[in-house]
Amino acid sequence: MRATHESGDPGFGTPLYVAVGLLAGAIIALQITVMRIFAAGNWAHFGSFIVSVAMLGVGISSTVMCVRQPWFERHWRGVAGAALIAFGPVAAGANLGAQQVPFNAMFLIADPQQKWRLAANFGLYLLPFVTGSLFLGSVFLKARERFARVYFADLVGCGVCGLGLLGGMFLYTPEQLIQIPLFMWVAAGACWALAMRSTRLALAVAAAGALAFAIHLPLADAFDLPRLAVSDYKGVSYARRFPDSKQVYERATPFGYLEVYSSSYLHFAPGLSDNAALDLPEMPSNAYLGLYVDGDGPNGIIRELPAAQTKYFDYLPMALPFLLKDQPDVFVVQFGGGLSAAAALRKGARSVTVADSNPAVLSAFRHDAGLRGFTGDILHKPRLKTVAQDGRIHLSHGAGRYDVVDLSLADSAGLSSPGGFAIAEKYNYTREAMQVYMRGLKEGGILSVTLWNKEEPPKSVLRLYATLVEAARAMGEPDVRRCFFVTSSYLSTATVLYQRGGFGDEAIAKLQARTAALSFDEIYAPGAKYEVDPLETILAAYRAQLFGAVPKTLPHPPLPNAADTEDQASPVEDAAPAEEEAVPEDGAGADGPTPKTMPSIALARHAWQALMDGSWPALAAGYPFDLHPLSNEKPYFAAYLRPRDLPAVLDRLDLLQDEWGYLLLWATLFIACASGLLLIALPAIFGWRSLFARCPGKAGTLLYFACLGMGYIMVEVALISHFTLALSNATVSAAVLITGMLVFSGIGSLVAERHLDRARTRLPFVFATIAILLVAYGVGIDRALDWVGTLPYAWRLPCCFALIFPPAFLMGMPMPTGMTWLARLGKAPLFLWAWGVNGCMSVVGAAAVPILATSFGVGAALVAAGALYLLAVPGLFALLRPLPGGAAAVA
């Protein structure tokens, strides 16, 4: 890059472009840092707000600069310098300040203070983004006629610094991670001082750097201020409070901040049969360590139990396949804390192959002496083989056939915390994944899938059931009805067993007997009939409770059952109420019998019946929640409420407490639209007839940059979700996408500079190509990524970058072309507004993707983005309209 003064102003040369790249990189690194802080300290989902906060910073800066453009143009150097110097101390101060007013979403309704805490967090974190945007905006404004070059610096800086932060996550814990954006900022300041050839600026940057690090390090220590306030309600907070709690392992990684605690107070046994208490002579004590990732958990790490306690495993749902399989070869799709692997080893498996997509977890079990000792060095057992990749991907290689494939409570924290993981992709549970597991079975092999069953009314388990049956049908099973056996424990777990080729009568009898012995509920067995309430009665009751008056088909209030009043009478006098006393004065519910089985159990039995006899679509349509099977297109358990039903439940959102993560998506979209439109409107209101009066094609220009802002971010967010399929890890996927998209777009922006003069004729073809590519990606990229996922990891990364390149390269062209032409045509007032519109609509686009993805599939977001790029074409022609009196003609 030339070190000349291209804009006719001293300072425009390589150091300045590097400064722009580094500060843009520091901004994106700060965004990711704050996300990590939210994830480790509170609730990860609020981290996504930070994208909106950052783009709002762009919106506010551009609005202010647009309204006072001449002043900013005159003082650009001072504004940019001051904003740059302020960024570091403001970022460090805002972060420390926000940690002193921790927000807890759980009490948003109960505690009126929480909304102010949320506002304080929002306001504090907004400050550095406004400051950073002021710097970028000032430079963009000054360099507007060479916008492509400065935009290239901006995008490449973001991409490279994002990757740098990812590497930094190996070195810094979340509470110290902010030091990385601060380092980037100091480097940006140094380059700026060099560009301006100012010693005073260099000294100011050094002083500000010292101040920023002082705020984060000694000041926080001196006043005993937490740098990361971990919520009292995080799993790890409880572990830390146990009297004998001891942290036995800790490691910072991009895959999460791992901590392992030991305490005699940690107890696990997911899905343990209640009968264990009655049958076992002795329960294992101090049997578990607690594994926490980003403070969430615990996942239980089981100790190597003595041989005398082997029967303990018989009471866990993951032991069921071993009733039918002697010395099986077992594949465990997700190692987690090792419970399934330990159960398989103890139940006599000939070989156990365990996979895990989180390399940090496997590394801990392989290399840490404490964990190796506790688990009996489980990963080095002779019968156990470890696969350091996603189990779904490993099996799809066609590597081996197994007697038992186990998927037990993988990602268990997510599914046991309803509401909080509305947009988490569960690719391990999709129809395609189930087919992979089924293909990985030997003839007669058993797939065992256990899921938390803590929802009432049931939702996740019904989706799982539908997914498994769909997968079995796709496998071409001659008689699907013989292939399944399903059992559940009320408000605990549900287990589906699938046998390739179907269960024999003897096997069914064994499973039924064991289910009864464990006091589990039998949900489906080939040929079995169950006496339950009519389906329509159950569905009508659920619908009425959610959408209308409470019907009398379900007891309301619950009547004490016979056990309360007679059989269960306590030996103590007057132990239980007489039934008459339990009936409320108005008699409501008095006519409703106590159900023979719980409605959710009855519904689950009906669901299996429907899945087998083909009436499932009718059942699903009549259920108040969306029960679509999981697929690679829609890999979500959550988002059960249908968008069309939202208006009907707005006055009763309290009935949907386990959907608040999904509802928050809608709230975010609403707020993003409202704030974005306001920020776009402000300059328009003040400037439509004054500032912009001489600029023709205003509406088209607005359309152009709105489409680009929304389209670009939608592609980025949707592809992050898609690429998890091949890369197995959301963090790696985000890093690859952010880096790939921004760097390739930066290259695209640089190339666009050469074609500026032929924008009118060439850019429409670019838009058309982008649209075609995005539609093609929307329709078929999951198949391509599935294939990429089968390659060794070293090959997957270049393949992913190759897939990202075509759209990202082309999508880098329209923005700088449009911006530069605004400057060339003398439409300076529109220049900053356009930048702001782009930023504001990015917020809307980012919020829209999860809604589109959960409603129509991830591919729909890409198709929608393609449509937006086509919609930008008429905007381009409006943008290129010259000012009255003429300016340069565009070919």
Please select the residue that binds another protein; options are 42, 69, 104, 375, rule is CB under 8 A. Answer: 104
- What DSSP assignment string belongs to 205-236? HHHHHHHHHHIIIIIHHHTT--SS---TTSHH
Minimum distance from residue 556 beta carbon to another protein (Å): 6
Minimum distance from residue 542 beta carbon to another protein (Å): 7
Cα(103)–Cα(126) distance, integer angstroms: 16
Is the peptide bond between 457 and the residue preceding it cis, with omega within 30 degrees of 0? Answer: yes
Q: In what order do the strands lie in the sheet with 329-332?
A: 384-387, 351-355, 329-332, 402-408, 441-452, 493-499, 484-488, 521-524
581 binds another protein (CB under 8 A): yes
**418-437 positions binding another protein, by CB under 8 A:** 418-419
562 binds another protein (CB under 8 A): no
Minimum distance from residue 516 beta carbon to another protein (Å): 9
Minimum distance from residue 555 beta carbon to another protein (Å): 5
**389-418 positions binding another protein, by CB under 8 A:** 416-418
Minimum distance from residue 21 beta carbon to another protein (Å): 43
Is the peptide bond between 874 and the residue preceding it cis, with omega within 30 degrees of 0? Answer: no
- What DSSP assignment string belongs to 107-139? GTTT-THHHHHHHHHHHHHHHHHHHHHHHHHHH
Minimum distance from residue 401 beta carbon to another protein (Å): 32
**236 vs 808, beta carbon nearer another protein:** 236
Asked if 175 contacts 156 with a C-beta cutoff of 8 angstroms, the reply is no
**271 vs 859, beta carbon nearer another protein:** 271
- At position 756, the amino acid (one-letter code) is L
| Stretch of residues binding another protein (CB under 8 A), selected from 106-114, 178-186, 361-369, 626-634 | 106-114
Please select the residue that binds another protein; options are 560, 622, 764, 826, rule is CB under 8 A. Answer: 560
**104 vs 179, beta carbon nearer another protein:** 104
**583-602 positions binding another protein, by CB under 8 A:** 583-585, 588-589, 594-595, 598-600
Please select the residue that binds another protein; options are 225, 276, 684, 751, rule is CB under 8 A. Answer: 276
684 binds another protein (CB under 8 A): no
Radius of gyration for the alpha carbons in the chain, expressed in angstroms and rounded: 30
Please select the residue that binds another protein; options are 128, 209, 457, 740, rule is CB under 8 A. Answer: 457
**650-669 positions binding another protein, by CB under 8 A:** 651-655, 657-658
**507-526 positions binding another protein, by CB under 8 A:** 519
Cα(606)–Cα(564) distance, integer angstroms: 28
Please select the residue that binds another protein; options are 3, 210, 513, 569, rule is CB under 8 A. Answer: 569
Q: Is 667 in a helix, a strand, or coil? A: helix
540 binds another protein (CB under 8 A): no
Asked if 138 contacts 72 with a C-beta cutoff of 8 angstroms, the reply is yes
| Beta bridge partners of residue 290, listed in sequence order | 261, 300
What is the DSSP pairing of strand 441-452 with strand 402-408? parallel
| Stretch of residues binding another protein (CB under 8 A), selected from 119-127, 277-285, 706-714, 775-783 | 277-285
Q: How many CB atoms lie within 10 A of CB 802?
A: 11
**310 vs 594, beta carbon nearer another protein:** 594
Nearest to 49 by CA among 108, 122, 104: 122
**282-301 positions binding another protein, by CB under 8 A:** 283
542 binds another protein (CB under 8 A): yes
572 binds another protein (CB under 8 A): yes
Report residue 354 as tokens: 């365990």
- At position 315, the amino acid (one-letter code) is Y
309 binds another protein (CB under 8 A): no
**122-141 positions binding another protein, by CB under 8 A:** none
Report residue 600 as tokens: 């959710």
Asked if 130 contacts 71 with a C-beta cutoff of 8 angstroms, the reply is no
Nearest to 485 by CA among 520, 511, 456, 464: 511
- In the chain, the N- to C-terminal Cα span, in Å, equals 27
**624-653 positions binding another protein, by CB under 8 A:** 651-653
Minimum distance from residue 267 beta carbon to another protein (Å): 5
Please select the residue that binds another protein; options are 3, 70, 109, 693, rule is CB under 8 A. Answer: 109
**490 vs 877, beta carbon nearer another protein:** 490
Count the residues in the chain. Answer: 891
101 binds another protein (CB under 8 A): no
Please select the residue that binds another protein; options are 117, 267, 366, 481, rule is CB under 8 A. Answer: 267
Total chain residues near another protein (CB under 8 A): 85
Q: How many CB atoms lie within 10 A of CB 253?
A: 17
Asked if 58 contacts 677 with a C-beta cutoff of 8 angstroms, the reply is no
278 binds another protein (CB under 8 A): yes
How far, in Å, are 404, 729, 779 from residue 424 at the CA level?
A: 27, 11, 21
> What is the SS3 string spanning 727-778?
HCCHHHHHHHHHHHHHHHHHHHHHHHHHHHHHHHHHHHHHHHHHHHHHHHHH
Please select the residue that binds another protein; options are 564, 626, 633, 716, rule is CB under 8 A. Answer: 564
